Amino acid sequence: MFTTLISATDLAAHISDPNWVVVDCRHDLMNLSAGREAYNAGHLPGAVFADMETELSGAKRDEDGVFRGRHPLPSKDALVETLRRWGIDDDTQVIAYDAHGGMYAARLWWLLRWIGHEPSAVLDGGLPAWQALGQPVVTEVPVKPLGAITLQAPFVPTVTVAEVLENIESERRTVVDARAADRFRGENETIDPVGGHIPGAKNRFFKDNLHNDGRFKAPEQLREEFASVIDDPANAIMQCGSGVTACHNLLALEVAGMPGAALYPGSWSEWTADPARPVAKGA
């Protein structure tokens, strides 16, 4: 069973296994059709496509019309239905990949853990690592038999915006922001209407989890680097712009042997939707 990362070599050995499902999670925050177009142009054999906006995220506003962020979590029931449509059972090994160092694939990995599905992993190095081995890509769209995955107890915690707001005063937990340093400081904000960060948050850019080739750093290195940011993962909250790249930090923590941190799904996009919530700028 693979529960964090899988190498392209190991995936190639299992790509035709009947109870493995590979999911293409490619996406572009600035061009919402780019992921589907890339999938149609060529994907791993047997891979299904996951739409970040409609399948790996839920409605942007709740029943009262309150904005929940750019990529709120889908309902668990809706997620289970999506996974069944992809042919996933309770014991299916799921492999998520993208072409962005796991930036989007980690979201699916985390969502699976959120509904209690343990055998899920991210392709280390993504599509580039697969192609570097000379492995093929195809355009054929697979037809999967309906899966029977069921909702189980989650392996991962979440926190609400109210809990993050309360934490500013209590300082019981460490909030870690996965966005680039300039966006954290409130500079060059091009996605959300307000620049800056949650007061008291620390910055750990998700790309710092990777080597230059897009593969994750070794567990020992990740452990050393994260130890300078958080003391106890069980008292840490991971966030980003909209709850996507925060999952990359959560995956890196799992690789490092430091599980237990919570996700703030709404992240900066939800936080800044209410001007009454405080904003900090600078390092």
Active-site amino acid positions: 240
Beta strands in the chain (DSSP E): 5-6, 20-24, 48-49, 93-97, 120-123, 174-177, 202-203, 236-239, 262-263
Structure tokens at 82: 């999506």
Pairing of strands 262-263, 5-6: unpaired
Sequence-ordered alpha helix ranges (H) in the chain = 8-14, 34-41, 76-85, 105-114, 126-132, 161-170, 181-185, 219-227, 246-255, 267-271
Q: In sequence order, which residues have a C-beta less than 8 Å from that of residue 274 and are 6 or more positions away?
A: none
Q: How far apart are CA 34 and CA 263, in angstroms?
A: 26
Q: Residue 22's beta-bridge partner residues?
A: 95
Q: Identify the three-state secondary structure at position 203.
A: strand
Q: Identify the three-state secondary structure at position 33.
A: coil
Q: How far apart are CA 118 and CA 125, in angstroms?
A: 21
Q: Considering Cα of 83, then 161, then 209, then 29, what sign does the dihedral take?
A: positive
Q: How far apart are CA 153 and CA 173, in angstroms?
A: 24
Structure tokens at 125: 């190095």
Q: Residue 5's beta-bridge partner residues?
A: 122
